[in-house]
């Protein structure tokens, strides 16, 4: 007999289920059934009641999907704890704290309000394994059945969820860390950190100016937050603040701004955290980045004798590699940073706190910490092609890549990456000279374009 064929997931992607509101499967009827299917998978036998937490970001559609999921879960006989607007990593933490069987996040992260999605956390606060997602999808193919009336799930609201999470965040840095004297601007992207982030930093002693804290259901991530830090740059300079911190709509990403208005991205923040862990002699094994991580991060860590490996783009792949190597630190240029020694998933607030702790304990500004890693100039060109696979195996393309890699001689990097959603090859070149890098990328893009198949 041959090996059983691996089942393909129909709905779950690398980061849950996501799409445009009103377009299948991001519809109320699908969410109703998804709640029921998840309830059936997580329902416990032997008379024990299962419990699932539901939280959301600030999108207007979240109310609609929250109600649909609640109804589906209740019909499967599962109790529900409602959290209201909460950061994605907070829901992971609270799922562990309340010993729930799972946590559900209604969010499309850094996307605009017209999108929404669903993420699941297992009982330990980590993302669901493939087998559990496949089990949920198997139930999605069945008809909904409702448990007996005396078994229907009950719904309660956790009223102190925000306070619990604030205290948890504060505990992830040493107890002697005091932010007294620091003036910080915090941009919450009109998202799920709007009622939490400023409190975390102010309760640790900082003077905080908060922006992006007036969600109306439709302004999430709109010209603000980690994906658009220009508003934060202006505010930091206007307030003459020591630094700024920007989150995305669901709070799992962070970028920072130094007192001169320079944006400090995820690669630089990850380097700062790793270097400080080393200074404090806290073992973390090594660092996991992605194919898009700046070469400066790799070279900076090498200078510290810190192992570094790359994986595919996506926090799921970063997490898989961390677990495989038993390492503690990983992340992406976008600001999705994972510190497994203090939490179970990417957390913007907690990542920012690790950087602030490094500043306070060393008496060093964010600018001084960031310049210790030299980012390499990076240039990317998108080339539209007919066949991505044909281009990626084309001898002329492979020869051009090999020649350029030889020319860069370990002080640069070449990456050809097929887009996962469009007929594009992304041509990226990094190196020490910005003008040369742009020239190399454009020349290689011409070879790719001529070989489009």
The CATH number of the domain where 271 resides is what? 3.40.120.10
Q: Which domain holds residue 220?
A: 182-261
Q: CB count, 10 Å around CB of 234? A: 15
Between 9 and 257, residue with greater pLDDT: 257
Whether 170 maps to a domain, the answer reads: no
The rounded radius of gyration (Å) of the Cα atoms in the chain is 23
Q: What is the percent of the chain where pLDDT is above 70?
A: 97
Whether 354 maps to a domain, the answer reads: no
Domain-ending residue, one of 231, 261, 291: 261
pLDDT of residue 45: 62
Domain-ending residue, one of 241, 261, 281: 261
> What number is the average pLDDT over the span 122-150?
96
pLDDT of residue 366: 98
pLDDT of residue 223: 97
**153 and 78 in contact (C-beta within 8 Å)?**
yes
pLDDT of residue 419: 80
Same domain, 369 and 396: no
Question: CA-CA distances (angstroms) from residue 348 to 196, 226, 355?
Answer: 12, 10, 11
pLDDT of residue 1: 40
pLDDT category, 451, cuts 50, 70, 90?
confident
Same domain, 129 and 236: no
pLDDT of residue 422: 77
pLDDT of residue 3: 43
Domain-ending residue, one of 261, 278, 303: 261
* Distance separating alpha carbons of residues 148 and 43, to the nearest angstrom: 14
* Distance separating alpha carbons of residues 379 and 376, to the nearest angstrom: 10
Whether 154 maps to a domain, the answer reads: yes
Whether 228 maps to a domain, the answer reads: yes
Is residue 266 pLDDT above 80, yes or no? yes
* Distance separating alpha carbons of residues 167 and 161, to the nearest angstrom: 10
Average pLDDT of the chain is 95
Whether 3 maps to a domain, the answer reads: no
Same domain, 308 and 371: yes
Same domain, 38 and 103: yes
> What number is the average pLDDT over the span 270-293?
97
**172 and 354 in contact (C-beta within 8 Å)?**
yes
Same domain, 369 and 409: no
Whether 169 maps to a domain, the answer reads: no
pLDDT tens for each residue of 46-103: 667 899 999 999 999 999 999 999 999 999 999 999 999 999 999 999 999 999 999 9
Same domain, 41 and 145: yes
Same domain, 328 and 408: no
**85 and 163 in contact (C-beta within 8 Å)?**
no
pLDDT of residue 4: 45
pLDDT category, 411, cuts 50, 70, 90?
confident
> What number is the average pLDDT over the span 150-176?
96
pLDDT of residue 47: 64
Please report, for the domain that includes residue 407, its CATH number: 3.30.310.50
Cα–Cα–Cα angle for 442, 447, 451, rounded to 5 degrees: 140
- Split into its structural domains, the chain has a count of 4
- Helices 61-75 and 28-42 cross at an angle (nearest 10°) of 40
> What number is the average pLDDT over the span 134-147?
97
* Distance separating alpha carbons of residues 244 and 232, to the nearest angstrom: 6
Whether 177 maps to a domain, the answer reads: no
pLDDT of residue 89: 98
> What number is the average pLDDT over the span 11-29?
95
pLDDT of residue 421: 66
Question: CA-CA distances (angstroms) from residue 240 to 1, 164, 317?
Answer: 70, 32, 39
Same domain, 332 and 305: yes
Whether 166 maps to a domain, the answer reads: no
Is residue 2 pLDDT above 50, yes or no? no
Question: CA-CA distances (angstroms) from residue 345 to 82, 162, 251?
Answer: 21, 18, 11
- Determine phi and psi for 287, rounding to 5 degrees: -125, 135
Same domain, 39 and 141: yes
pLDDT tens for each residue of 220-254: 999 999 999 999 999 999 999 999 999 999 999 99
Same domain, 393 and 433: yes
Active site residues: 109
Same domain, 253 and 274: no
Same domain, 390 and 444: yes
Is residue 176 pLDDT above 80, yes or no? yes
Q: Length of the chain in residues, anyone? A: 453
* Distance separating alpha carbons of residues 224 and 234, to the nearest angstrom: 11
Q: What is the percent of the chain where pLDDT is above 90?
A: 91
Annotate the chain with three-state secondary structure: CCCCCCCCCCCCECCEEEEECCCCCCCHHHHHHHHHHHHHHHCCCCCCCCEEEEEECCCCHHHHHHHHHHHHHHHCCCEEEEEEECCHHHHHHHHHHCCCCEEEEECCCCCCCCEEEEEEEECCCCECCHHHHHHHHHHHCCCCCCCCHHHCCCEEECCCHHHHHHHHHHCCCCCCCCCCCCEEEEECCCCCCCCCHHHHHHHCCCEEEEECCCCCCCCCCCCCCCCCCHHHHHHHHHHCCCEEEEECCCCCCEEEEECCCCEECHHHHHHHHHHHHHHCCCCCCCEEEECCCCHHHHHHHHHCCCCEEEECCCHHHHHHHHHHHCCCEEECCCCCEEECCCCCCCCHHHHHHHHHHHHHHHCCCHHHHHCCCCCCCEEEEEEECCCHHHHHCCHHHHHHHHHHHHHHCCCCEEEEEECCCCCEEEEEEECCCHHHHHHHHHHHHHHHHHCCC
**216 and 318 in contact (C-beta within 8 Å)?**
no
């Amino acid at each position: 007999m041959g090996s059983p064929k691996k089942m393909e997931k129909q709905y779950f992607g690398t980061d849950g289920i996501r799409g445009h509101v009103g377009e299948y499967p991001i519809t109320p009827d699908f969410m109703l059934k998804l709640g029921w299917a998840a309830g059936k998978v997580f329902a416990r036998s032997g008379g024990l009641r299962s419990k699932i937490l539901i939280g959301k970001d600030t999108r207007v559609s979240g109310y609609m999907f929250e109600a649909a999921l609640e109804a589906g879960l209740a019909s499967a006989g599962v109790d529900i704890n409602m959290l209201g607007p909460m950061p994605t990593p907070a829901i992971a933490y609270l799922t562990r704290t309340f010993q729930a069987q799972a946590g559900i996040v209604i969010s499309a992260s850094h996307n605009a309000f017209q999108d929404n999605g669903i993420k699941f956390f297992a009982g330990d606060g980590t993302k669901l394994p493939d087998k559990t997602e496949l089990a949920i999808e198997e139930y999605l193919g069945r008809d909904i059945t409702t448990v007996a009336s005396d078994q229907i799930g009950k719904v309660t609201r956790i009223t102190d969820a925000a306070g619990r999470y604030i205290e948890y965040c504060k505990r992830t840095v040493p107890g002697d860390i005091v932010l007294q004297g620091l003036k910080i601007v915090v941009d919450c992207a009109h998202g799920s950190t709007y009622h939490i982030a400023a409190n975390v930093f102010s309760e640790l002693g900082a003077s905080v100016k908060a922006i992006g804290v007036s969600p109306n259901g439709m302004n999430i991530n709109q010209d603000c937050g980690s994906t658009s830090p220009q508003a934060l740059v202006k505010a930091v300079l206007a307030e003459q603040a020591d630094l700024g911190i920007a989150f995305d709509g669901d709070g799992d990403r962070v970028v920072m701004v130094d007192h001169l208005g320079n944006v400090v991205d995820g690669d630089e923040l990850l380097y700062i955290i790793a270097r400080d862990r080393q200074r404090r002699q806290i073992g973390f094994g090594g660092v996991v980045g992605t194919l898009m991580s700046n070469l400066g991060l790799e070279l900076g860590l090498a200078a510290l004798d810190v192992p570094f490996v790359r994986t595919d783009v996506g926090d799921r792949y970063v997490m898989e590699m961390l677990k495989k190597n038993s390492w503690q630190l990983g992340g992406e240029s976008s600001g999705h940073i994972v510190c497994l020694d203090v939490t179970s998933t990417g957390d913007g607030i907690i990542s920012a706190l690790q950087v602030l702790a490094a500043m306070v304990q060393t008496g060093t500004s964010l600018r001084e910490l960031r310049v210790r890693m030299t980012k390499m100039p990076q240039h990317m060109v998108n080339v539209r092609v007919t066949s991505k696979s044909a281009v990626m195996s084309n001898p002329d393309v492979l020869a051009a890549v090999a020649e350029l890699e030889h020319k860069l001689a370990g002080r640069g990097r070449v990456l050809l990456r097929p887009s996962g959603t469009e007929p594009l090859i992304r041509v990226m070149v990094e190196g020490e000279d910005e003008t040369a890098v742009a020239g190399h990328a454009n020349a290689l893009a011409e070879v790719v374009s001529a070989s489009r198949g």
